[in-house]
Amino acid sequence: MQFIDLAAQYQHLKTRIDSRIQTVLDHGQYIMGPEVKELEEQLAKYVGVKHAITCGNGTDALSLALMAMNVGEGDAVFVPTFTFFASAEAVAFAKATPIFVDSDSTTFNMCPVDLERKIQAVKEEGKLNLKTIMSVDLFGQPANYPKIKRIAKTHQLTILEDSAQGFGGAIEDENGRLQMAGSFGDIATTSFFPAKPLGCYGDGGAIFTDSDDYAELIKSYRVHGKGTNKYDNVRIGMNSRLDTIQAAILLEKLACFPQEVIDRNKVAMIYEAALKGKLKTPEVPGGYTSSWAQYTLIAESSEQREKLMSSLKESAVPTVVYYGTCMHQQTAFKYLGLDHDQFPNAEALAGTVFSLPMHPYITPEQQGVVIEKLYEAYMDLIK
């Protein structure tokens, strides 16, 4: 059994993907070929924004966004402590200061209450410029943008939405329309790492925005800061382009992605029905749609998590911990000198969460085995 079964997805799309790749091999435009522009148009349409700009990977997408936002030394960027390293890494790489924010204990996303608290603390200290909130749409679910946007407006902060895991998620607006992940920030980013909800067969990323000015800057920055003439570089940029073969693959994956999100939600509903009341299952607030990048449970303790995961491993059921170490606990961020008691929810999650196999091609029989073996392991522990 695979934790994320990319081979099953490929078999489902094999004819279409192979044909797309062959088309690229035939025309030979491997860098910035026509499929790249086609993909950008389709991504913008799906997310509901004016511009989608592809790049080399999700981390570069964050860096390009921060460059366009002119984030740098002396700036404070508020970022969740319970997330993948790249979110905070991009902030530090830009020479800005990551200000870590605790998690909401039920959604796993950035806690708006603690965000407000951390903003006030930075403001009172007076050493850094209040600049940007980097929200993260963790495990497939958009962050609490109604509250985050109000906070950003109050303090005149921009929002950079890291939707690498949230792509395909959505929030229903006051008129009942779904607003997609990737459209909530002044700039948003995603990753096409193979394990993401929408993944390619290598590295890839994209940036989303409604701003013409941001879009033009990002297009320049991703190709060495070039101007209107490719040999006139008007700013210092980077080399971060999505290659054409990956764009071709993503075009076929994007075409079936809406159905995959529906199927992921069906898988999540089956887990929920079978496991609720035994282990703490993930919660999706009313009006929210998750794309279920991960299906993450919360054990009662680190010891219980270890025993459950060990038992499942013996039954050949794969599980993974996302994430066992918070950002403020990382060696790379020791220079910030943070106290551990500032992040009680995030640390509790890091010590107890574990994720089950989740993908749209898991069979009912496979999911039945996961549930059966987890239930047996759980019952053995409570005897």
Residue 159 has a pLDDT of 98
Answer for the pair 81, 103: CB distance below 8 angstroms, yes or no. Answer: yes
d(CA 342, CA 99): 11
Q: What top-level class would CATH report for the domain 6-253?
A: alpha beta
Answer for the pair 97, 76: CB distance below 8 angstroms, yes or no. Answer: yes
d(CA 58, CA 381): 40
Residue 230 has a pLDDT of 76
Residue in 91, 242, 108, 104 with CA at minimum distance from that of residue 169 = 108
Residue 2 has a pLDDT of 94
Peptide bond into 201 cis (omega under 30): no
**Chain centroid offset of residue 92 CA:** 18
- HEC assignment per residue over 10-37: HHHHHHHHHHHHHHHHHHCCCECCHHHH
Which pLDDT tens digits describe the chain residue by residue (383 residues)? 999 999 999 999 999 999 999 999 999 999 999 999 999 999 999 999 999 999 999 999 999 999 999 999 999 999 999 999 999 999 999 999 999 999 999 999 999 999 999 999 999 999 999 999 999 999 999 999 999 999 999 999 999 999 999 999 999 998 889 999 999 999 999 999 999 999 999 999 999 999 999 999 999 999 999 998 878 899 999 999 999 999 999 999 999 999 999 999 999 999 999 999 999 999 999 999 999 999 999 999 999 999 999 999 999 999 999 999 999 999 999 999 987 789 999 999 999 999 999 999 999 999 999 999 999 999 998 87
Residue 198 has a pLDDT of 98
pTM of the model: 0.96
Residue 62 has a pLDDT of 98
Name the residue ranges covered by the structural domains of the chain.
6-253, 258-382
Tokens of 94: 């830009």
Residue 358 main-chain phi, psi, to 5 deg: -145, 115
Cα dihedral 70/74/75/81 (nearest 10): 130
CATH domain 258-382 topology: Aspartate Aminotransferase, domain 1 (3.90.1150)
